[in-house]
Amino acid sequence: MLKRVIIFLSLTITFLLGAYDKPLFEEYETTLTTVDKTRAIIDDSASIVVGSSGIVLHTFENQESMIIARAAVISKDGKKAVLELIPFDALTQSNFPQISIEPQVGHTVILNYLYGRSLIVTPNYESFKKITDFFIDIEWIHPDITAAFLAKRYIPNPDRKRFREMCSINMTGLIAFNMNNMGYFVDCISFKVVKAFKMPLESDKTILPFYSRISEHIGTYPISLGTREITDYNEYYRHLLGVK
């Protein structure tokens, strides 16, 4: 807890000084010590954050590795961390035979997977520019790309399912949200906040559903199928993230 407070304060101070050029997240590799159907246990570490996710690898005799599952940290107590095991379907190809290998004790786990790439959701260009200029170590997916995805599907109010889909398509592990003078890095799989930081807004302008150069083209189906446009940016994303 103290470490999180120190990181939060350092990010707040650094925002006043300039860009943050250190990796926010580094991949953390370990092995499964216990496996029970949809749960697994690993040794705890200060580098492990509740809500972070990763992949489980199986290594063959020729030393080639294959992703066999996703994993998300659901709890930790200083000695062990509990993972939820989730099927990995990002590379599913129906034209090829599927190899069914279940996670087992000794399998490799890599947490903070794809945390070097992030989607971004901000209310205006000023916030978008400030965050992307500050976290220069992250490869940002431009919001025009995600907005085009939503526009093509007539989705003006992206939910968790759609954000996860956009993360998968763009091979990202994080989504950065900005609202109410705060920034939140959210894990794509667990949709839990893995890091929060102070982010004073420089403009009260709000573009819905988020800033992009094509947001005005994101509308509903001509015949409504229950999709509704966002009316309150801050309230919508606070509710989506479960933050106050």
Q: Identify the band that residue 1 occupies on the pLDDT scale cut at 50, 70 and 90.
A: low
Among 111, 133, 163, the domain boundary falls at: 111
Domain limits at 166? 115-241
Among 111, 137, 169, the domain boundary falls at: 111
Give helix then strand counts, H and E, for the chain.
5, 12
Are 86 and 131 members of one domain? no
Per-residue tokens: 58: 């199986």
Q: Is the pLDDT of residue 18 over 90?
A: no
CA angle 185, 219, 215 (to 5 degrees): 50
pLDDT greater at residue 159 or residue 16: 159
Residues forming beta bridges with residue 185, ordered by sequence position: 176, 195
Are 124 and 156 members of one domain? yes
Residue-level pLDDT at 2 = 46
| Tally of structural domains, the chain | 2
Q: Is the pLDDT of residue 11 over 80?
A: no
For 214-217, the CB contacts below 8 A with 24+ separation are: 214/144, 214/147, 214/148, 214/151, 215/147, 217/147, 217/151
Q: Identify the band that residue 5 occupies on the pLDDT scale cut at 50, 70 and 90.
A: very low
Are 64 and 140 members of one domain? no
Per-residue tokens: 72: 């998300």
Q: Is the pLDDT of residue 123 over 80?
A: yes
Provide the b/e sequence for 205-217 (b: ≥16 CB within 10 Å): ebbbbbbbeebee
Q: Identify the band that residue 97 occupies on the pLDDT scale cut at 50, 70 and 90.
A: low
Express each pLDDT in 37-79 by its tens digit. 899 999 999 999 999 999 999 999 898 999 999 999 999 999 9
Q: Which of 31, 29, 35 is nearest to 104 (CA)?
A: 35
Express each pLDDT in 209-242 by its tens digit. 999 999 999 987 665 555 689 999 999 999 999 9
Give the DSSP per-residue string, 79-134: SEEEEEEE---TT--TTSPPP-----TT-EEEESTTTTEEEEE-SSHHHHHHHHHH
Assigned domain for 174 exists: yes
Average pLDDT, the chain: 89
Express each pLDDT in 167-176 by its tens digit. 999 999 999 9
